[in-house]
Structure 1
Amino acid sequence: MMPTPPITFSPPPTRRQALACTGLTALAGLAALAWLPGCASAGPPRYSVRLAELQQALAGRFPRSYPLAGVLELQLHTPQLALRPERDQLNAVIALQANGLLLQGRQPQGLLDVDFGLRYEASDRSLRTDRVQVNTLRLQGLPAGLSQQLSRHGASLAAKALDGLVLHQLRPSDLALADGLGVQPGPIRVTAQGLTVEFVPRR
Structure 2
Amino acid sequence: MQRRVLLMAAAATGAGLLAGCAALPRTVVITEAQLQERLAGQFPQRRRVMSLLDLDIGAPALKLLPEQGRVAARLTVDASERLTRKSATGTVDADSALRFEPSDMSLRLYQVRVARFELADAGGAWPAPVRQAAAVVAEQLLEDQPVWRASSSQADRLRRAGVRDVQVRITAAGIELTLDEGTPR
After TM superposition, the score normalised by the length of structure 2 is 0.73
Partner residue, 1:87: 68
For structure 2, the residue ranges without an aligned partner over 5 or more in a row are 1-13
Distance in 1 (CA, whole Å) between partners of 2:84 and 2:157 is 56
Give the drift of 1:102. Answer: 2.4
Structure 1: gaps of 5 or more residues: 1-18, 37-44
Give CA-to-partner distance per residue, 1:10-61, whole Å, 9 cap, x none: xxxxxxxxx97xx65xx8xxx9x8438xxxxxxxx21221212211221122
- Going from structure 1 to structure 2, the CA distance change for 1:83 and 1:71 (only over 3 Å counts) comes to same
**Cα pair 1:116 1:129 within 8 Å, conserved:** yes
Of 21, 24, 47, 1:35 maps to 24
Output the CA distance in 2 between the equivalents of 1:147 and 1:67: 21
Give, in whole Å, the separation in 1 of the partners of 2:49 and 2:105: 31
Cα RMSD for the two superposed structures = 3.4
CA apart distance, 1:159: 0.8
Shift of 1:112: 0.1
Distance in structure 2 (CA, Å) of the matches to 1:96 and 1:174: 33
Deviation at 1:79, TM superposition (A): 0.6
Report whether the alignment pairs 1:191 with 2:161. no
Relative distance call for 1:147 and 1:67 in structure 2 (3 A) is farther
1:1-203 equivalence runs, <5 A: 34-35=23-24, 45-68=26-49, 70-100=51-81, 101-104=83-86, 107-141=87-121, 147=127, 150-171=130-151, 173-174=153-154, 182-202=162-182
- How many residue pairs get matched? 169
Which is richer in strand?
A: 2
Query: C-alpha offsets along residues 142-172 of structure 1, whole Å, 9 cap, x if unaligned?
Result: 769x635623521121112112222222245
Name the structure 2 match of 1:15: none
Aligned to 2:4: none
Aligned to 2:11: none
SS at match of 1:102: coil
| Cα pair 2:117 2:132 within 8 Å, conserved | no
Considering only CA atoms, is the larger Rg found in Structure 1 or Structure 2? 2
Contact 1:69 1:153 (C-alpha < 8 Å) held by counterparts: no
1:174, distance to aligned residue in structure 2 (A): 3.7
